[in-house]
Amino acid sequence: MDLTGKVVLVTGAGSGIGKATAMMMAASGAKVAVLSRTQSEILKAQEEIEGGGGQAMALTADVSQDADMKRAVEQVIARWGRLDCVIANAGINGVWAPIDDLQPDEWDKTIAVNLRGTYLTIHHTVPHLKAAGGGSIVVVSSINGTRTFTTAGATAYSATKAAQLAMVQQLALELGKSGIRINAVCPGLIATNIPDSTIKRNQDVARIPVVWPEGDIPITGGLPGASEDVASAIVFLSSDLARHITGTPVWIDGGQSLLR
């Protein structure tokens, strides 16, 4: 999966799946623009990539803000002159609560980051992918909203993840004539720090009680996957090895969504 000479933008690259993807992209020869709204963590990601011999630039932006994303993409072009691959990874779990408890501002924030953020990332990068003669976009969706609907109270989150997959399939046709492929990865339970920022409230009201005595991830006996498991698929989909794959969801969950 040689990405030598490719310029890649990874959003939400300060930790978890985004950071693992950026590290793997750089190790595959790409120049990687890493983006996060938290400057300290994105500078650390840049430092780690460069410490491993890779090329990186750190961008601080809020993916839900139009001006931020426009400026960030312009910075990538100003430095490297092109863009070949885009990884729309930034997202939040938001608030998980019963629908009559979930507040409008909580709903709006999840939609703004996960869905508007994906739109703005694609909106501002597609012109540069077209200028490069084509490229690849990978959207990080989830098993929630695409195969699994048992996460209590995760209505806003699941809605954004379902919508991301619909965007991917819609845009596969629109962008195909410009030589741009777009695919989705749909992770299950992955060991990242995103659960730490999830607000869970009154979930028992919305929960359907189901017990999996041997764990709900068949291939690992219930243990979560690693960020690198998802990153490997993203790098593959971004490479020329996946040149005939577009509009395709890839579930990376160890069989979790088939059971749940």
Q: Are 2 and 11 in contact (CB under 8 A)?
A: no
d(CA 28, CA 49): 12
Judge residue 67's burial from the number of C-beta atoms within 10 Å of its C-beta, 0-12 exposed, 13-18 middle, 19 or more buried.
exposed
Query: Please, what is the angle between helix 16-27 and helix 39-51, to 10°?
Result: 30
d(CA 48, CA 141): 26
Residue 90 tokens read as 């930034």
159, 252, 155: which is closest to 207 by C-alpha? 155
Q: Are 126 and 74 in contact (CB under 8 A)?
A: no
Which residue among the candidates 64, 112, 114, 157 is catalytic per the annotation? 157
Q: Are 117 and 91 in contact (CB under 8 A)?
A: yes
Residue 136 tokens read as 């690849």
Extended strands (E) in the chain = 7-11, 31-36, 55-60, 85-88, 95-96, 135-140, 180-187, 199-200, 249-252
CA pseudo-torsion sign 198, 200, 206, 210 = positive
119 among known catalytic residues? no
Active centre residues (catalytic): 157
